[in-house]
Structure 1
Amino acid sequence: MNILHGRKALQNFLQSQKAHFGAAPILIVESKPLNGVENKQVDEVCRWTRFVLQQQLGFRTVVYHSQHLFPTLSDQQQAFEMASRVGASTVAAVGSGSAMDLGKSMSWAEDRILMPATPTAILAAGSSHSLIYDLAEDTLVPIEQKRGGTIALMHSKTDQVQEALYACLAIAIDNFVQGTSRDSTFADDVLRMIKEKTSKVEDAEDLLIRSGQSLRYGLDENNRSIPLAIVSSLVTNELSSYSAMGVMASLVPSLVNVLPDKYSFDFDKELLDAAPRAITSSSIESLLAHIRDNQGATGCYDISEEKLRKVLQFHTVNS
């Protein structure tokens, strides 16, 4: 995976490969505003991308707008048909996590460029799978992506840096809870940035990429990441009110309470109290049922129900 830092780096990369990318049309996958509400940050990055590709570099493009909070199999098919009609060989996904997941799932593409405009989108861009919403099963289905491609970090201004750092911390702690990592370097880096409270957007973006790379989907020998399992179980309910990033970030106090004693981190009360709160209306039993339904539909593996229950007992459910 080629990672570019900043818009100038992306422009230079595209200019250096102008003959290659100009040989065939480019399918641009953009995020559609959710519930009719514009996201200025996403909209600005989408407009900038169209300007650079179409006017500045003169590439032939066709634009597909992702229609949902999570892309569907129908979105995937429609985007493929649009690309086939014009002979596109490159997909450029721009905007939110939905656009990243849809762009990553385009297995036909010879080249893939991901331009995430939000923290959640950066996490999705760095992860190994796409999450596709299966309407029939009413759940998220993980689809493994083809390796390679380019991630261009836009360094967009955001007021969500602290929330993003807590989400990274939740993913890092989960690796210790489930015993899939013994390296505390990543968690130490996140803790330091949270405590300093002066984090640069580009530093947070790097941590989000690393977090995405460490997410597990439960399709191999390792269990699915707890934050991912809980977000997937809320897909049709709470995520209309809370972002996936916010839900993950809110799990930090819960996961700390089930962290094995052998791991020693400086989780002071002030740090835990400052964690975002995504208060859900679901009961613990309802959440567990959703997680099991999701597990059955996707064939993934989760941590034991006993441990999941312990996490959810400390979560802000019904509080």
Structure 2
Amino acid sequence: MPLNGVENKQVDEACRWARFVVQQQMGFRTVVYHSQHSFPTVSDQQQAFEMASRVGASTVAAVGSGSAMDLAKSMSWAEDRILMPATPTAVLVAGSSHSLFYDLAEDTLVPMERKGGGTVALMQSKTDQLEEALYACLAIAIDNLFQGTSNDSTIVDEALRMIKEKTTKVEDAEALLIRSGQSLRYGLDENNRSIPLAIVSSLVTNELSSYSAMGVMASLVSSLVNVLQDMYSFGFDKELLDAAPRAITSSSIDSMLAHIRDNQGATGCYDVSEEILRKVLQFHTVNS
């Protein structure tokens, strides 16, 4: 049962291609569910399950957007899940163990049990988003090093190399996105939630809604380096930091922190101290 979400032309084309292959070339009986929400909701899950039950579907294939990936991962009844991301954000989500987003304005589904990501079938992502995606990978890796959940600096090294070379193959960037998604922490065990995840999940639906999730993550490179430079030697050149995307809001730090606390309470996760979050957020507001 394919699930799709349309967020751009790339996703549209991926959905049409996947449906043609599955139905026409492979001859499988399918039912397509198209979510009308920006983020997967409980209603989406219920409707998709009802449609699948009618035709006896046992496999879920998520095609296209990050929302579709999140929804597919929540379906515990599926015997198998095939994730076919068509955008950099969707590739990152496909590699992660849980949902990337949580919107308090909607009755939104957040799968809390650890579920395998299923089979990930990579499709060529939009090349004009690759640099932004690499900065997002860099932000996740910097946070992992800072919080001590990983001593592996290879993601930092690879992301830096790809950003500087500016000739990165799509396949290499996608592989790095998958690894970065796998390294995201959700704060549901003894570790704190990844700072990039906490900020994206809490603010991309409200205070930073004019930016994409990937753009917000990418914008955290400069702020994380500035905040953590006394604790960890990154050695990034100024030109690279200046070229990083920016995500700025007129909302106050206190307002953004309130959203993060609400999100934390709703998901039952652990975050880093408010002091650290405040230091990071000061680089993302014109009204401190």
Shorter-chain TM range is over 0.9
1:175 alignment partner, one of 127, 134, 144: 144
Contact 2:67–2:90 at 8 Å: present in 1 too? yes
**Structure 2: gaps of 5 or more residues:** none
Matched letter for residue 21 of structure 2: V
CA gap of 1:112–1:241, structure 2 versus 1, over 3 A, is same
Deviates more, 1:256-265 or 1:240-249: 256-265
Matches within 5 A, 1:16-95: 27-33=1-7, 39-95=8-64
Aligned to 1:304: 273
1:262 Cα deviation (Å)? 5.8
CA gap of 1:69–1:136, structure 2 versus 1, over 3 A, is closer
1:148 Cα deviation (Å)? 5.4
C-alpha separation in 1, matches of 2:80 and 2:107 = 31
C-alpha separation in 2, matches of 1:62 and 1:169 = 38
1:105 alignment partner, one of 74, 88, 92: 74
Cα deviation per residue 1:83-108 (whole Å; 9 max; x = unaligned)?
Answer: 11111000000011000000111110
Matches within 5 A, 1:224-235: 224-235=193-204
Cα deviation per residue 1:194-235 (whole Å; 9 max; x = unaligned)?
Answer: 111111111110010001000000100000000111112214
Deviates more, 1:227-236 or 1:96-105: 227-236
Matched letter for residue 59 of structure 1: F
Secondary structure of the residue aligned to 1:120 is: helix
1:260 Cα deviation (Å)? 5.2
1:160 Cα deviation (Å)? 0.2
C-alpha separation in 1, matches of 2:53 and 2:177 = 33
Aligned to 2:213: 244
Contact 2:98–2:114 at 8 Å: present in 1 too? yes
Deviates more, 1:210-219 or 1:255-264: 255-264
**Structure 1: gaps of 5 or more residues:** 1-26, 34-38
Aligned to 2:92: 123
Contact 1:115–1:151 at 8 Å: present in 2 too? yes
Matched letter for residue 145 of structure 2: F
C-alpha separation in 2, matches of 1:195 and 1:148 = 31
Cα deviation per residue 1:160-211 (whole Å; 9 max; x = unaligned)?
Answer: 0000000000000011221212221111111111111111111110010001
Deviates more, 1:195-204 or 1:232-241: 232-241
Aligned to 1:287: 256
Aligned to 1:186: 155
C-alpha separation in 1, matches of 2:46 and 2:107 = 18
Give the number of the structure whose residues are more often strand, by fraction.
1
1:236 Cα deviation (Å)? 3.0
Aligned to 2:284: 316
Secondary structure of the residue aligned to 2:167 is: coil
1:282 Cα deviation (Å)? 2.2
Deviates more, 1:278-287 or 1:222-231: 278-287
Q: How many residues align?
A: 287
Secondary structure of the residue aligned to 2:284 is: coil
Aligned to 1:259: 228
Aligned to 1:152: 121
Matched letter for residue 248 of structure 1: M
4+ aligned runs moved over 4 Å, structure 1: 131-140
Aligned to 1:277: 246
Contact 2:92–2:177 at 8 Å: present in 1 too? yes
Contact 1:170–1:251 at 8 Å: present in 2 too? yes
Indicate the percent of aligned positions where both proteins have the same amino acid: 84
1:263 Cα deviation (Å)? 3.5
Matched letter for residue 278 of structure 2: R
Cα deviation per residue 1:284-304 (whole Å; 9 max; x = unaligned)?
Answer: 111111111111111100000
TM-score of the superposition, structure 1-length normalised?
0.85
C-alpha separation in 1, matches of 2:103 and 2:279 = 29
Aligned to 2:189: 220
CA gap of 1:275–1:246, structure 2 versus 1, over 3 A, is same
TM-score of the superposition, structure 2-length normalised?
0.94
Contact 2:215–2:245 at 8 Å: present in 1 too? yes
Aligned to 1:18: none
